[in-house]
Amino acid sequence: MTAKIEAKNLVKIYGNNTGEALELFNQGYSRSEILKQTGLTLGVAGANFEVAEGEIFVLIGLSGSGKSTLLRCINGLLMPTSGSLLVDGNAVEKMGGKELRRLRGERISMVFQHFAILPNRNIIDNVAFGLELRGVEREARWAEASEALDSVGLGDWKNKMPQELSGGMKQRVGLARALVMESDILLMDEPFGALDALIRAEMQEELLTLQREIKKTVVFVTHDLDEALRLGDRIAIMRDGAIEQIGTADEILAEPANEYVEQFLTGIDVSKILDAASISKWPRELVRDSESVSVALHRMKKTDTDYLFVTGQRRKLVGMITRDDLLPLSKKRQTSFKDVIREANTIPGDTIMRDVFPELRHSERALAVVDENGRFLGVITHNTLVESLDERKGGDGIAEL
Ligand SMILES: Nc1ncnc2c1ncn2[C@@H]1O[C@H](COP(=O)(O)OP(=O)(O)OP(=O)(O)O)[C@@H](O)[C@H]1O
Ligand SMILES: [Mg+2]
């Protein structure tokens, strides 16, 4: 069976007169050496891979590693400097203008991070745009666009204008716009990159659900390891234009091909790189030490909690107070709670996340995160931790306090 997409020793060097640079590449010179000697950038450095029909193939790597370049070679937006890129066994670099237009118009669709939504057209016309270019009659294209919008959960938004949609919804429009073309290859370049973590996770789930139905061949670019592991049937890790390893998530995690991959995998382990300050959240309520018993009780009631952290001047953490300690004072009509302030469980802001776990396990209540001057930075609850692990990249989670 021929692969749906196949790259054979694919090299892409940006610029004109690439002969010398290619020669250097073939002699084994590195990307930086080639750049130094010729001024030309090696975008893809001899990539070999096959993507099977119906597979989600993920390209992951740091910024500048050549993911987008490789993706653009697949639909012929970029032509290989040497080597070959085959779609259904046909070499893209040998296609004429007409064939290329067919390739991009009918066989391959693309979804970008900042996909160009047309602001003056309503949602359904945005989705139908590609069909319009193809010359499909209005009614037919509306019917198809409507179906595509239904499938991405935007059925009720067809007649809205783009500015009425959230970021996540706009990405769905982008997806619908690709789906409506009914091409069997979908190229997605960081399609969820601009979305916050929760919406992003939602979109990933949805893409997987959708994929079970539509079974397209998807090449998905991301720089987010979690996203890659979640979505990819197979994952290719890129570095300086070259593919360092290709495999399933399990294969790559269990057996990193080299030190670079190993570092790449661990480098993104946020339980190591995130610290207490970065995952802490601002609590819904605090109380200053100069405020009163009744104010403190009011805030506890409002936020349905039985304790509050107390701050002093310049946000310095003074301690915490509990409702049980305040109620007797309230009965005695005492205003100040200074006598019942307890010591709070604190953790320095630069504690790495891995060391936050044990601290939290031993603490019944939230941990107060403080800087080196004892200033209050936020709280970490048992929920914060779960959310941070879920989100990894740390989006706008909801503080549960
Ligand atoms: N049009 C261009 N002309 C010249 N060099 C380019 C061009 N586009 C990209 N490059 C260079 O090619 C290399 C690979 O870029 P590419 O955009 O493919 O990386 P990427 O992995 O998609 O990065 P990112 O994650 O930032 O999108 C980079 O060094 C980049 O500067
Ligand atoms: Mg890119």
pLDDT digits (tens, 9 = 90+) for 332-369: 999 999 999 999 999 999 888 778 878 888 888 999 99
Ligand 1 atom 29: residue of nearest CA: 64
pTM of the model: 0.68
Could you tell me which residue, 114 or 165, shows the higher pLDDT? 165
Residue 395 has pLDDT above 60, yes or no: no
Q: What percent of the chain has pLDDT over 70?
A: 93
* Ligand 1 centroid from CA 15, angstroms: 12
Q: Provide the pLDDT for residue 63.
A: 86
DSSP 253-270: HHS-SSHHHHHHHHHT-H
Q: Provide the pLDDT for residue 330.
A: 94
Residue 288 has pLDDT above 90, yes or no: yes
Ligand 1 atom 3: residue of nearest CA: 14
Average pLDDT, integer, range 270-295: 82
12 CB near ligand 1 (under 6 Å) = no
pLDDT digits (tens, 9 = 90+) for 205-217: 888 988 888 899 9
* Ligand 2 centroid from CA 62, angstroms: 9
Give ∠ CA 146-148-150 in degrees, rounded to 5. Answer: 70
Looking at CATH, the fold of the domain delimited by 276-391 is given as: CBS-domain (3.10.580)
Residue 370 has pLDDT above 90, yes or no: yes
Identify the weakest region by mean pLDDT among 140-149, 283-292, 385-394: 385-394
* Ligand 2 centroid from CA 168, angstroms: 20
Instruction: State how far the Cα of 264 lies from the Cα of 248, in Å rounded to an integer.
Output: 16
Average pLDDT, integer, range 108-117: 78
Residue 268 has pLDDT above 60, yes or no: no
Looking at CATH, the fold of the domain delimited by 52-75+94-271 is given as: Rossmann fold (3.40.50)
Identify which ligand lies nearest to the alpha carbon of 65: 1
Average pLDDT value for the chain? 88
Ligand 1 atom 10: residue of nearest CA: 43
Residue 272 has pLDDT above 60, yes or no: no
Contact status, residue 282 vs residue 378, Cβ threshold 8 Å: yes
On the CB side of 287, CA atoms within 13 Å amount to 31
Ligand 1 atom 2: residue of nearest CA: 14
Q: Provide the pLDDT for residue 74.
A: 96
Q: Provide the pLDDT for residue 399.
A: 32
Could you tell me which residue, 345 or 168, shows the higher pLDDT? 345
Could you tell me which residue, 84 or 263, shows the higher pLDDT? 84
**CB atoms inside a 10 Å sphere around CB 68:** 20
Mutate which of 17, 68, 110 for ligand 1 pocket (most atoms within 8 A of beta carbon): 68
67 CB near ligand 1 (under 6 Å) = yes
Please state the domain extents for the chain.
Answer: 52-75+94-271, 276-391
DSSP 326-390: HHHHHHTT--B-GGGPBPPPEEETT-BHHHHHHHHHT-SSPEEEE-TT-BEEEEE-HHHHHHHHH
65 CB near ligand 1 (under 6 Å) = yes
